[in-house]
Structure 1
Amino acid sequence: TEAVKPVMGKYYREPQKSGPVPFHLVRDLLTSLKYDHFVSDQGDVVYYQTDPHFSSSKGKSE
């Protein structure tokens, strides 16, 4: 952390301190489940896709 501060300069952000249970990550986890994509390893042509069971967005994303 100390080594990257001079490199990042004003863009460096101190990470949030965590308690015994990292409740501050719940929001990030829910966002990840809603918006993150994966690439299936099946088929000759692959593309980013979302799992409709976990995502509220519809269709394919590129």
Structure 2
Amino acid sequence: VQAPKGGQSDQVTADAVPKLNEAAVTAGNADIDTVSGATYTSAGYKQSLQSALDKAGG
């Protein structure tokens, strides 16, 4: 899963991605909560993760 790059979102992304990674590992799927203050990053992460899981699953 790749995080978005550039602009003002860099710090938000840097703070949110570790939390999203932990939540995804704990959940075992892409059904995870949005990180407060990182709505767009969280949504993109979840979409990207679900796509990767779909591709990995066949």
TM-score with structure 1 setting the length:
0.27
Q: Calculate the TM-score normalised by the size of structure 2.
A: 0.29
Structure with greater proportional helix content: 2
Q: Which has the higher contact order (CA 8 A, sep 6+)?
A: 2
- Whichever structure has more strand as a proportion of its residues is 1
